[in-house]
Structure 1
Amino acid sequence: MNEITPIEQVTERMLTWGRNSALFRLNQRDMSEHELFVALKRKAGTKFPGITEECAQTLAQQTVLYCSELRLLNDNNYAEVKVRSGVNSGNSRKRIAMKLQEKGIDVEKANNALEEVDDARAAIIYCRKRAFGPFRRGDADQARHNKELSGLARQGFPFDLSKKVLGLSFEDANDVLDGHLTLD
């Protein structure tokens, strides 16, 4: 029978594969350092049968370091892009923070990126997407109003902000989106 011998040392061939794999992945989409590390470590196990856990970890670490030196990875920029995208998608500060935590962004970098998040703007964008509050067609009964409030709560928006947003007129909501009006 063919027995797989354990690979305990990173070879030049492995490093070349790791760099090429990382460049391909980063060309496909943006990744955090943690995401790339986990993906490379997992893939190294299938690419090189018999690779030890320590060897796979070393390979992934060296590849992430290589990409960071080339400035292909930057968790600060990644967090800022994710925050901007999250707000423009109608996600709350809480939801965006959870997403960044899932992606392996440390708390300090996430907090720096989340400083300028305007939950009111994000809530109005969410309402526009779902035709809630000022963007609803027709009048709302109590059941519809409760459904809209619970939808905003599930997105992570505070209750008082949700009530304010749902009570806005169409014109005021658009003024908030355009930056002409603020909700206090």
Structure 2
Amino acid sequence: MPTKPRYKLPTEERLIRSAVHYLERYASSAANLRKVLERKVMKACAEHDRDPSDFAALIDKVVDKCTGSGLVNDRVYAETKTASLRRRGGSRRKIEAQLISKGVDKDVIQSVLEHDSGSDMDAARIFARRRRLGPFRTDGNRQQRRDKDMAAMCRAGFSFDIARRIIDAQDDADG
């Protein structure tokens, strides 16, 4: 007895429903939505022995509809992602890297970061507080852990100067 295919072949209606369902749960850039739909099409095509490139125009059409209707807006996505990462202590470099990985255009990223009111120094202080680095360390062996704390700050995308100023601050109000 043959098993029923798990995935149905994509149609415009199915892809729109999938896109709306995804966008209800997650904020997304146009390029990221395209990747999500391409993965869905790849699974269905693998099951039905079809070529995924046959559905490329259909994916483009669905992404264009979502962009045209305002469901997807790369600038708004970049602004909200930037604000969210800043609140959690994200550096400018980390924000750029995450937005690039989601397919946001570099011009949009630069424009959003130019209008960003947060500074790397404030973000570094938040990051150090969240990770209990430098002056926020509670176990008392600050000097022994200084190099590791500096490395953590630099891996998070902060410059050496900012990392040094935060880690070497006398108390959590300095920096």
TM-score range, shorter chain: 0.7 to 0.9
- The runs of 5 or more residues in structure 1 that have no matched partner are 1-10, 174-182
1:16 matched to 2:13? The reply is yes
Q: Which residue matches 1:135?
A: 136
Query: What's the offset of the Cα at 1:122?
Result: 0.9
**Partners of 1:76 and 1:109 within 8 A in 2:** yes
Q: Given the superposition, is the C-alpha separation of residues 86 and 154 from structure 1 closer, same or farther in structure 2, using an over 3 Å criterion?
A: same
Supply the AA of the counterpart residue of 1:63: V
Q: Which residue of 2 aligns with 1:90?
A: 89
Whichever residue aligns with residue 93 of structure 2, its letter is K
CA deviation after TM superposition for structure 1 residue 54, in Å: 3.4
2: CA distance, partners of 1:157 / 1:171: 17
Shift of 1:84: 1.0
Provide, for residues 83-112 of structure 1, a one-character-per-residue CA deviation record: whole Å limited to 9, x for no partner: 111111112111111111110001001111
CA distance in 2, matches of 1:143, 1:134: 13
Q: Distance in 2 between matches of 1:137 and 1:72?
A: 45
Other structure's SS at 1:142 match: coil
Alpha-carbon distance between aligned partners in 1 of 2:148 and 2:164, rounded to the nearest angstrom: 12
Is the CA contact (8 Å cut-off) linking 1:41 and 1:59 kept in structure 2? no
On the 8 A contact 1:45/1:56 being kept in 2, the answer is: no
Does 2:149 correspond to 1:152? Answer: no
- Map of 1:22-41 to 2, 5 A cutoff? 22-41=19-38
Over aligned residue pairs, what C-alpha RMSD do you find?
A: 2.2
Cα separation, partners in 2 of 1:141 and 1:165, compared to 1, 3 Å: closer
Please give the alpha-carbon distance, in whole angstroms, between the structure 2 residues aligned to 1:47 and 1:54: 12
CA distance 1:142–1:71, shift in 2 (3 Å): same
How many residues align? The count is 164
8 Å contact kept, 2:30–2:103: yes
Structure 1 residue 46 corresponds to structure 2 residue 43: yes
Give the match for residue 163 of structure 2.
162
* Equivalent in the alignment of 1:5: none
* Identity level (%): 29
Q: What per-residue deviation string (whole Å, max 9, x for no partner) do you get for residues 139-162 of structure 1?
A: 445331111111101111101111
Contact 2:128/2:136 (<8 A) preserved: yes
Deviation per residue, 1:120-146 (Å, 9 max, x gap): 111011100111122122544533111
CA-to-aligned-CA distance 1:25-69 (integer Å, 9 cap, x gap): 001111110011111122123335344343321111100111112
Alpha-carbon shift at residue 171 of structure 1 (Å)? 5.5
Name 2:106's counterpart in structure 1: 107
- Counterpart residue type for residue 160 of structure 2: F
Q: Point out the more displaced range, 27-36 or 141-150.
A: 141-150
| TM-score, normalization by structure 1 | 0.80
